[in-house]
Structure 1
Amino acid sequence: MKKITLSIVAVLAFGFANAQEVKFGVKGGINLSTLTGDMEDASSKVGFQVGGFAEIKLSDKFSVQPELLYSTQGAKEKSNVFDADAMELVSADFTTKLAYINVPVMAKYYVAEKFSLEAGPQIGFLVSAKGKMSGGGDSQEEDIKDFYKSIDFGVNFGAGYDFTENLSAGVRYNLGLSNILENEAGDNFKNKNSVFSLSVGYKF
Protein backbone atom coordinates (compact mmCIF):
# COMPACT_ATOMS: atom_id res chain seq x y z
CA MET A 1 0.00 0.00 0.00
CA LYS A 2 2.95 2.32 0.62
CA LYS A 3 3.92 1.77 -3.01
CA ILE A 4 0.51 3.09 -4.09
CA THR A 5 0.98 6.24 -1.98
CA LEU A 6 4.48 6.81 -3.34
CA SER A 7 3.21 6.28 -6.89
CA ILE A 8 0.54 8.95 -6.37
CA VAL A 9 3.17 11.42 -5.12
CA ALA A 10 5.46 10.62 -8.05
CA VAL A 11 2.67 11.11 -10.60
CA LEU A 12 1.73 14.48 -9.08
CA ALA A 13 5.35 15.66 -9.06
CA PHE A 14 5.81 14.61 -12.69
CA GLY A 15 2.54 16.24 -13.71
CA PHE A 16 3.24 19.65 -12.20
CA ALA A 17 6.82 19.61 -13.52
CA ASN A 18 5.67 18.92 -17.09
CA ALA A 19 2.34 20.75 -17.18
CA GLN A 20 1.38 22.78 -20.24
CA GLU A 21 -1.68 24.13 -18.45
CA VAL A 22 -3.37 23.70 -15.04
CA LYS A 23 -7.06 24.31 -14.41
CA PHE A 24 -8.78 24.10 -11.03
CA GLY A 25 -12.40 23.22 -10.44
CA VAL A 26 -15.13 21.92 -8.17
CA LYS A 27 -17.34 18.85 -8.58
CA GLY A 28 -20.18 17.02 -6.92
CA GLY A 29 -22.45 14.11 -7.58
CA ILE A 30 -24.32 11.00 -6.49
CA ASN A 31 -22.81 7.76 -5.18
CA LEU A 32 -24.37 4.31 -5.43
CA SER A 33 -22.27 2.20 -3.07
CA THR A 34 -22.13 -1.25 -1.55
CA LEU A 35 -19.67 -3.47 0.33
CA THR A 36 -18.31 -6.66 -1.18
CA GLY A 37 -16.80 -9.66 0.58
CA ASP A 38 -18.20 -11.36 3.69
CA MET A 39 -21.51 -9.53 3.78
CA GLU A 40 -24.78 -11.40 3.19
CA ASP A 41 -27.71 -9.87 1.32
CA ALA A 42 -25.91 -6.56 0.81
CA SER A 43 -27.69 -3.97 -1.31
CA SER A 44 -26.74 -0.54 -2.59
CA LYS A 45 -26.89 2.67 -0.58
CA VAL A 46 -27.32 6.15 -2.09
CA GLY A 47 -24.81 8.80 -1.02
CA PHE A 48 -22.97 11.79 -2.42
CA GLN A 49 -19.53 13.21 -3.09
CA VAL A 50 -18.29 16.80 -3.25
CA GLY A 51 -14.88 18.43 -3.55
CA GLY A 52 -12.30 19.97 -5.83
CA PHE A 53 -9.79 18.98 -8.49
CA ALA A 54 -6.91 20.20 -10.63
CA GLU A 55 -6.60 19.16 -14.27
CA ILE A 56 -2.92 19.15 -15.23
CA LYS A 57 -2.68 19.12 -19.02
CA LEU A 58 0.45 17.41 -20.30
CA SER A 59 -0.54 17.36 -23.99
CA ASP A 60 -3.60 17.84 -26.19
CA LYS A 61 -4.63 14.24 -25.48
CA PHE A 62 -3.35 13.49 -21.98
CA SER A 63 -4.00 15.01 -18.55
CA VAL A 64 -3.45 14.11 -14.90
CA GLN A 65 -6.26 15.01 -12.50
CA PRO A 66 -5.75 14.83 -8.71
CA GLU A 67 -8.89 15.34 -6.63
CA LEU A 68 -9.91 15.88 -3.02
CA LEU A 69 -13.43 14.57 -2.31
CA TYR A 70 -15.72 14.11 0.67
CA SER A 71 -17.63 10.90 -0.07
CA THR A 72 -20.47 9.12 1.75
CA GLN A 73 -20.49 5.35 1.13
CA GLY A 74 -21.54 2.06 2.71
CA ALA A 75 -24.27 -0.53 2.16
CA LYS A 76 -27.59 -1.90 3.35
CA GLU A 77 -28.30 -5.46 4.46
CA LYS A 78 -31.24 -7.44 5.79
CA SER A 79 -31.18 -8.71 9.37
CA ASN A 80 -33.50 -10.04 12.06
CA VAL A 81 -34.24 -8.36 15.39
CA PHE A 82 -36.39 -9.40 18.33
CA ASP A 83 -39.59 -7.38 18.67
CA ALA A 84 -40.38 -7.30 22.40
CA ASP A 85 -43.98 -6.22 21.80
CA ALA A 86 -44.72 -8.98 19.30
CA MET A 87 -42.41 -11.46 21.09
CA GLU A 88 -40.94 -12.65 17.80
CA LEU A 89 -38.13 -12.08 15.33
CA VAL A 90 -38.91 -9.46 12.69
CA SER A 91 -37.11 -8.38 9.54
CA ALA A 92 -34.92 -5.29 9.87
CA ASP A 93 -32.55 -3.23 7.75
CA PHE A 94 -28.98 -2.54 8.86
CA THR A 95 -27.29 0.39 7.12
CA THR A 96 -23.52 0.86 7.23
CA LYS A 97 -22.83 4.59 6.77
CA LEU A 98 -19.20 5.40 5.95
CA ALA A 99 -17.70 8.80 5.15
CA TYR A 100 -14.27 9.25 3.57
CA ILE A 101 -11.94 11.98 2.41
CA ASN A 102 -10.84 10.42 -0.88
CA VAL A 103 -7.78 11.44 -2.90
CA PRO A 104 -7.95 9.93 -6.40
CA VAL A 105 -5.30 10.69 -9.02
CA MET A 106 -6.73 10.08 -12.48
CA ALA A 107 -4.88 9.70 -15.76
CA LYS A 108 -7.20 11.12 -18.45
CA TYR A 109 -6.90 10.37 -22.16
CA TYR A 110 -9.04 12.34 -24.61
CA VAL A 111 -10.16 9.85 -27.25
CA ALA A 112 -12.14 12.66 -28.88
CA GLU A 113 -12.10 16.44 -28.52
CA LYS A 114 -14.54 16.47 -25.59
CA PHE A 115 -14.70 12.83 -24.51
CA SER A 116 -12.12 11.27 -22.17
CA LEU A 117 -11.41 7.93 -20.56
CA GLU A 118 -9.75 7.83 -17.14
CA ALA A 119 -8.15 5.47 -14.65
CA GLY A 120 -6.05 5.83 -11.54
CA PRO A 121 -5.38 4.92 -7.90
CA GLN A 122 -7.20 6.29 -4.87
CA ILE A 123 -6.42 6.58 -1.19
CA GLY A 124 -9.25 7.20 1.27
CA PHE A 125 -9.18 8.47 4.86
CA LEU A 126 -12.10 7.38 7.05
CA VAL A 127 -13.91 10.32 8.66
CA SER A 128 -16.85 8.54 10.29
CA ALA A 129 -18.59 5.16 10.43
CA LYS A 130 -22.08 4.60 11.81
CA GLY A 131 -24.44 1.64 11.85
CA LYS A 132 -28.20 2.15 11.77
CA MET A 133 -30.70 -0.62 12.56
CA SER A 134 -34.29 -0.02 11.46
CA GLY A 135 -37.08 -2.51 12.07
CA GLY A 136 -39.59 -3.77 14.58
CA GLY A 137 -40.96 -0.29 15.06
CA ASP A 138 -37.59 0.96 16.30
CA SER A 139 -34.53 2.73 14.88
CA GLN A 140 -31.09 2.91 16.49
CA GLU A 141 -27.78 4.35 15.28
CA GLU A 142 -24.35 3.65 16.78
CA ASP A 143 -20.78 4.74 16.16
CA ILE A 144 -18.85 1.79 14.65
CA LYS A 145 -15.66 3.57 13.60
CA ASP A 146 -13.51 1.32 15.80
CA PHE A 147 -14.47 -1.63 13.59
CA TYR A 148 -13.00 -0.04 10.44
CA LYS A 149 -9.51 0.80 9.27
CA SER A 150 -8.62 4.47 8.94
CA ILE A 151 -7.19 4.14 5.41
CA ASP A 152 -8.63 2.54 2.27
CA PHE A 153 -6.96 1.90 -1.09
CA GLY A 154 -8.68 1.43 -4.43
CA VAL A 155 -8.54 2.01 -8.15
CA ASN A 156 -10.94 4.04 -10.32
CA PHE A 157 -12.16 3.61 -13.88
CA GLY A 158 -14.37 6.11 -15.67
CA ALA A 159 -15.21 8.46 -18.50
CA GLY A 160 -15.96 12.15 -18.86
CA TYR A 161 -17.49 14.59 -21.28
CA ASP A 162 -16.83 18.35 -21.53
CA PHE A 163 -20.03 20.16 -22.51
CA THR A 164 -18.19 23.49 -22.58
CA GLU A 165 -14.73 24.74 -21.66
CA ASN A 166 -15.94 25.00 -18.06
CA LEU A 167 -18.79 22.49 -17.56
CA SER A 168 -18.26 18.72 -17.59
CA ALA A 169 -19.87 15.48 -16.42
CA GLY A 170 -18.37 12.14 -15.49
CA VAL A 171 -19.14 8.57 -14.58
CA ARG A 172 -16.77 6.49 -12.44
CA TYR A 173 -16.43 3.15 -10.69
CA ASN A 174 -14.25 2.75 -7.60
CA LEU A 175 -13.03 -0.79 -6.95
CA GLY A 176 -11.82 -1.25 -3.38
CA LEU A 177 -8.54 -3.18 -3.13
CA SER A 178 -8.07 -3.37 0.63
CA ASN A 179 -10.04 -4.95 3.47
CA ILE A 180 -11.58 -2.06 5.39
CA LEU A 181 -12.48 -4.08 8.50
CA GLU A 182 -10.32 -3.74 11.63
CA ASN A 183 -10.22 -7.46 12.44
CA GLU A 184 -9.02 -9.02 15.67
CA ALA A 185 -6.43 -11.81 15.61
CA GLY A 186 -7.84 -14.91 13.94
CA ASP A 187 -10.76 -13.04 12.36
CA ASN A 188 -10.74 -13.33 8.57
CA PHE A 189 -13.88 -11.36 7.68
CA LYS A 190 -13.40 -9.00 4.74
CA ASN A 191 -15.29 -6.00 3.39
CA LYS A 192 -14.23 -3.86 0.43
CA ASN A 193 -15.71 -0.65 -0.90
CA SER A 194 -17.50 -0.65 -4.25
CA VAL A 195 -18.79 2.72 -5.47
CA PHE A 196 -20.44 3.81 -8.72
CA SER A 197 -20.68 7.61 -9.09
CA LEU A 198 -22.13 10.25 -11.40
CA SER A 199 -20.78 13.78 -11.09
CA VAL A 200 -20.82 17.26 -12.57
CA GLY A 201 -17.73 19.50 -12.54
CA TYR A 202 -16.96 23.14 -13.19
CA LYS A 203 -13.49 24.38 -14.20
CA PHE A 204 -12.50 27.96 -13.42
Structure 2
Amino acid sequence: MKKVFLSLVALATFGFANAQIKEKGTIEITPKIGASSFGEFNGNDNSDYNAGVELGATVDYYFNNRWSLRSGLIADKMGSKNQFAGNFYEDELNYLSIPLNANWHFGSTRKWNLNFGLSPSFLTSAKFNENANTTDIPESAIESFQLGFTYGIGYKIGINDKFGILIDAQFFNGLTNINKASQERIVNGGYSFNLGGVIQL
Protein backbone atom coordinates (compact mmCIF):
# COMPACT_ATOMS: atom_id res chain seq x y z
CA MET A 1 0.00 0.00 0.00
CA LYS A 2 2.83 2.31 0.86
CA LYS A 3 4.46 1.71 -2.56
CA VAL A 4 1.19 2.48 -4.33
CA PHE A 5 0.78 5.70 -2.35
CA LEU A 6 4.36 6.80 -3.09
CA SER A 7 3.85 6.00 -6.78
CA LEU A 8 0.72 8.16 -6.89
CA VAL A 9 2.53 11.02 -5.16
CA ALA A 10 5.43 10.75 -7.63
CA LEU A 11 3.01 10.72 -10.57
CA ALA A 12 1.16 13.77 -9.26
CA THR A 13 4.44 15.60 -8.68
CA PHE A 14 5.64 14.78 -12.21
CA GLY A 15 2.36 16.00 -13.69
CA PHE A 16 2.50 19.25 -11.73
CA ALA A 17 6.12 19.83 -12.73
CA ASN A 18 5.20 19.43 -16.40
CA ALA A 19 2.00 21.48 -16.24
CA GLN A 20 1.74 24.21 -18.85
CA ILE A 21 -0.29 26.54 -16.63
CA LYS A 22 -0.07 30.14 -17.82
CA GLU A 23 -0.76 33.38 -15.97
CA LYS A 24 -2.72 36.33 -17.34
CA GLY A 25 -0.57 38.37 -19.69
CA THR A 26 1.64 35.49 -20.82
CA ILE A 27 2.57 35.78 -24.51
CA GLU A 28 3.65 32.90 -26.76
CA ILE A 29 4.95 33.19 -30.32
CA THR A 30 4.78 30.11 -32.58
CA PRO A 31 6.56 30.12 -35.96
CA LYS A 32 5.28 27.14 -37.93
CA ILE A 33 5.35 25.26 -41.21
CA GLY A 34 2.84 22.78 -42.55
CA ALA A 35 1.34 20.88 -45.45
CA SER A 36 -1.99 22.21 -46.70
CA SER A 37 -4.77 21.04 -49.02
CA PHE A 38 -7.40 23.43 -50.41
CA GLY A 39 -10.20 23.35 -52.94
CA GLU A 40 -12.87 25.63 -54.44
CA PHE A 41 -16.52 24.85 -53.73
CA ASN A 42 -19.72 26.09 -55.35
CA GLY A 43 -22.24 23.66 -53.88
CA ASN A 44 -22.48 21.55 -57.03
CA ASP A 45 -19.33 20.84 -59.02
CA ASN A 46 -16.45 20.94 -56.56
CA SER A 47 -12.77 20.87 -57.43
CA ASP A 48 -9.98 18.52 -56.49
CA TYR A 49 -7.86 19.56 -53.54
CA ASN A 50 -4.73 21.59 -54.25
CA ALA A 51 -1.65 20.70 -52.17
CA GLY A 52 0.62 23.44 -50.85
CA VAL A 53 2.81 24.65 -48.01
CA GLU A 54 1.57 26.75 -45.10
CA LEU A 55 4.02 29.20 -43.52
CA GLY A 56 3.56 31.74 -40.78
CA ALA A 57 3.56 32.56 -37.12
CA THR A 58 0.86 32.92 -34.47
CA VAL A 59 0.79 34.84 -31.20
CA ASP A 60 -1.20 33.78 -28.13
CA TYR A 61 -2.11 36.27 -25.41
CA TYR A 62 -3.36 34.51 -22.28
CA PHE A 63 -6.29 35.88 -20.28
CA ASN A 64 -5.98 33.04 -17.74
CA ASN A 65 -4.64 29.50 -17.63
CA ARG A 66 -7.37 28.17 -19.95
CA TRP A 67 -8.10 30.89 -22.51
CA SER A 68 -5.97 32.91 -24.88
CA LEU A 69 -6.51 35.06 -27.96
CA ARG A 70 -4.61 33.79 -31.00
CA SER A 71 -3.69 35.91 -33.99
CA GLY A 72 -0.78 36.15 -36.40
CA LEU A 73 0.12 36.00 -40.09
CA ILE A 74 -0.37 32.87 -42.19
CA ALA A 75 0.57 32.42 -45.86
CA ASP A 76 -1.47 29.78 -47.70
CA LYS A 77 -1.80 28.47 -51.23
CA MET A 78 -5.51 28.03 -51.92
CA GLY A 79 -7.48 27.60 -55.14
CA SER A 80 -8.08 24.32 -56.93
CA LYS A 81 -6.94 21.85 -59.55
CA ASN A 82 -8.85 19.82 -62.13
CA GLN A 83 -8.14 17.38 -64.91
CA PHE A 84 -10.40 17.16 -67.96
CA ALA A 85 -9.88 15.39 -71.30
CA GLY A 86 -6.20 14.89 -70.59
CA ASN A 87 -5.60 18.54 -69.68
CA PHE A 88 -4.52 19.88 -66.28
CA TYR A 89 -6.03 23.09 -64.86
CA GLU A 90 -5.08 24.89 -61.66
CA ASP A 91 -6.16 28.08 -59.91
CA GLU A 92 -3.17 29.06 -57.78
CA LEU A 93 -4.42 31.59 -55.24
CA ASN A 94 -1.98 32.81 -52.61
CA TYR A 95 -3.38 34.48 -49.51
CA LEU A 96 -2.07 36.17 -46.40
CA SER A 97 -4.46 35.52 -43.51
CA ILE A 98 -4.82 37.13 -40.07
CA PRO A 99 -6.61 34.62 -37.80
CA LEU A 100 -8.60 36.01 -34.85
CA ASN A 101 -9.28 32.93 -32.77
CA ALA A 102 -10.30 32.14 -29.22
CA ASN A 103 -7.97 29.39 -27.98
CA TRP A 104 -9.09 27.02 -25.20
CA HIS A 105 -6.29 25.15 -23.42
CA PHE A 106 -7.51 21.95 -21.80
CA GLY A 107 -6.28 18.80 -20.08
CA SER A 108 -4.72 18.60 -16.64
CA THR A 109 -1.46 20.11 -17.92
CA ARG A 110 -3.07 22.41 -20.57
CA LYS A 111 -1.07 20.77 -23.35
CA TRP A 112 -4.12 20.43 -25.62
CA ASN A 113 -5.75 23.42 -27.31
CA LEU A 114 -8.90 23.93 -29.32
CA ASN A 115 -9.18 27.19 -31.29
CA PHE A 116 -11.97 28.76 -33.34
CA GLY A 117 -12.80 32.12 -34.87
CA LEU A 118 -12.70 34.24 -38.01
CA SER A 119 -9.86 34.71 -40.48
CA PRO A 120 -9.72 37.69 -42.86
CA SER A 121 -7.53 36.80 -45.87
CA PHE A 122 -5.95 39.06 -48.49
CA LEU A 123 -5.05 37.84 -51.98
CA THR A 124 -1.35 38.34 -52.77
CA SER A 125 -1.24 36.64 -56.18
CA ALA A 126 -3.59 34.74 -58.50
CA LYS A 127 -2.46 32.59 -61.41
CA PHE A 128 -4.15 30.14 -63.78
CA ASN A 129 -2.12 27.16 -64.94
CA GLU A 130 -3.20 25.18 -68.01
CA ASN A 131 -0.81 22.33 -68.62
CA ALA A 132 2.59 24.07 -68.81
CA ASN A 133 1.20 27.58 -69.46
CA THR A 134 0.73 30.11 -66.66
CA THR A 135 -1.21 33.37 -66.86
CA ASP A 136 -2.28 35.95 -64.28
CA ILE A 137 -5.93 35.92 -63.24
CA PRO A 138 -7.27 39.49 -63.75
CA GLU A 139 -8.43 41.51 -60.76
CA SER A 140 -11.86 41.77 -62.36
CA ALA A 141 -12.34 37.99 -62.00
CA ILE A 142 -11.55 37.42 -58.32
CA GLU A 143 -12.14 39.19 -55.03
CA SER A 144 -9.00 40.45 -53.29
CA PHE A 145 -10.53 39.83 -49.82
CA GLN A 146 -12.21 36.83 -48.26
CA LEU A 147 -13.48 35.99 -44.79
CA GLY A 148 -13.34 32.47 -43.45
CA PHE A 149 -14.29 30.51 -40.34
CA THR A 150 -11.23 28.76 -38.90
CA TYR A 151 -10.91 26.11 -36.23
CA GLY A 152 -8.34 23.57 -35.15
CA ILE A 153 -6.87 21.35 -32.48
CA GLY A 154 -3.29 21.02 -31.30
CA TYR A 155 -0.99 19.39 -28.77
CA LYS A 156 2.08 21.04 -27.25
CA ILE A 157 5.12 19.04 -26.18
CA GLY A 158 6.89 20.98 -23.43
CA ILE A 159 10.69 21.04 -23.71
CA ASN A 160 11.32 23.53 -20.90
CA ASP A 161 9.56 26.51 -19.28
CA LYS A 162 10.19 28.77 -22.27
CA PHE A 163 10.01 26.46 -25.28
CA GLY A 164 7.79 23.73 -26.65
CA ILE A 165 6.81 22.00 -29.90
CA LEU A 166 3.27 22.36 -31.24
CA ILE A 167 1.62 19.80 -33.50
CA ASP A 168 -1.75 20.92 -34.82
CA ALA A 169 -4.42 20.61 -37.50
CA GLN A 170 -6.22 23.71 -38.77
CA PHE A 171 -9.35 23.95 -40.93
CA PHE A 172 -10.65 26.82 -43.08
CA ASN A 173 -14.19 27.27 -44.43
CA GLY A 174 -14.72 30.27 -46.69
CA LEU A 175 -17.72 32.45 -45.84
CA THR A 176 -17.51 35.01 -48.66
CA ASN A 177 -17.72 34.61 -52.43
CA ILE A 178 -14.38 34.98 -54.22
CA ASN A 179 -15.88 34.95 -57.74
CA LYS A 180 -16.31 38.34 -59.48
CA ALA A 181 -16.53 36.97 -63.02
CA SER A 182 -20.10 35.62 -62.80
CA GLN A 183 -23.07 35.17 -60.46
CA GLU A 184 -21.80 31.75 -59.36
CA ARG A 185 -20.83 31.62 -55.69
CA ILE A 186 -17.39 30.05 -55.09
CA VAL A 187 -15.62 29.74 -51.75
CA ASN A 188 -12.25 28.34 -50.66
CA GLY A 189 -12.03 25.53 -48.14
CA GLY A 190 -9.34 23.23 -46.81
CA TYR A 191 -7.04 22.18 -44.01
CA SER A 192 -3.40 21.99 -42.94
CA PHE A 193 -1.21 19.91 -40.64
CA ASN A 194 1.52 21.94 -38.96
CA LEU A 195 4.64 21.76 -36.81
CA GLY A 196 5.77 24.78 -34.83
CA GLY A 197 8.10 25.97 -32.11
CA VAL A 198 6.36 27.65 -29.14
CA ILE A 199 8.43 30.46 -27.62
CA GLN A 200 7.22 32.06 -24.37
CA LEU A 201 8.27 35.69 -23.99
| TM class, shorter-length | 0.7 to 0.9
CA shift at 1:106, angstroms? 1.5
CA shift at 1:69, angstroms? 1.1
Q: If the length of structure 1 is used for normalisation, what is the TM-score?
A: 0.78
Residues 25 and 53 of structure 1 are in contact (CA less than 8 Å); yes or no, is this contact kept in structure 2? Answer: yes
Aligned equivalent of 1:24, options 13, 16, 29: 29
CA shift at 1:201, angstroms? 1.4
For 2:87 and 2:43, the matched residues in 1 are separated by: 19
Equivalent pairs, count: 170
Unaligned runs of 5+ in 1: 1-17, 80-89
Tell me what 2:6 maps to.
Answer: none
Q: If the length of structure 2 is used for normalisation, what is the TM-score?
A: 0.79
For 2:130 and 2:157, the matched residues in 1 are separated by: 42
Q: Does 1:117 align with 2:114?
A: yes
Unaligned runs of 5+ in 2: 1-22
Aligned equivalent of 1:202, options 177, 187, 197: 197
For 2:24 and 2:77, the matched residues in 1 are separated by: 32
- 3-state SS of the aligned residue for 1:178? coil
For 1:34 and 1:41, the matched residues in 2 are separated by: 8
Tell me what 1:168 maps to.
Answer: 166
Q: CA RMSD in A?
A: 1.7
**Cα-to-partner distance string for 1:171-203 (whole Å, 9 max, x where unaligned):** 0110000001123xxx31121010211111112
Q: Does 1:101 align with 2:96?
A: yes
**Cα-to-partner distance string for 1:85-125 (whole Å, 9 max, x where unaligned):** xxxxx421211101001101121111212111110100000
For 2:94 and 2:126, the matched residues in 1 are separated by: 6
Tell me what 2:145 maps to.
Answer: 151
- 3-state SS of the aligned residue for 1:77? strand
Q: Does 1:140 align with 2:133?
A: yes
For 1:62 and 1:41, the matched residues in 2 are separated by: 36
Aligned equivalent of 1:179, options 173, 177, 189: 177
Residues 38 and 189 of structure 1 are in contact (CA less than 8 Å); yes or no, is this contact kept in structure 2? Answer: no
**Higher Cα Rg, which structure:** 2
Moved over 6 A (4+): none
Residues 41 and 77 of structure 1 are in contact (CA less than 8 Å); yes or no, is this contact kept in structure 2? Answer: no
Tell me what 2:11 maps to.
Answer: none
Q: Does 1:58 align with 2:72?
A: no
